Amino acid sequence: CTLKCDPESPPMSTESLEKSSMQPSFQPSTKTPLVIENNGLHTIQVDPIRILDEFQAEQYEKVMENLTASFGHMLDDPYITSNCTLFQQNLGSNGTATMLLLGFSIRYESKFGRPVIHYPYLLQDYVNSNLQEMTLLMQDAFLDNAVRVYEVKIYNL
């Protein structure tokens, strides 16, 4: 034994261990994760006219998930995870331009009690406050036919 033990001191009891002020070195998880999921509608002006292919759809989902880092805290597993799923694409017109309407769901999950109930609306606010940056981001990342990114609207399920 490399510890110095005093043979005259009594052994530590279970009771003294229970009274110990030692705190766990990790944050305990909640039994049921906190989950919030909302649907959203994103409008993007496109030219030439086309919907997203499979690769572009996956890139859109990743961009939306990664935007959470711009306003969220303690992201990534095991703390807070985000998941975006693109479930609908339609082409429309506002009278002068062709619009790509993207229906998506955004889900946030927290295993450690971090509040995520407002995260979908924080995402909406972030996108809507940075439309010019969002246009450039989407053009650079995957959507070369994006002319202008318009607002995101988040809806309750």
Q: What is the pLDDT of residue 6?
A: 45
pTM score? 0.75
Residues of the chain below pLDDT 70:
1-31, 74-78, 157
Q: What is the pLDDT of residue 112?
A: 75
Angle, helices 54-66/131-141, rounded to nearest 10 degrees: 140
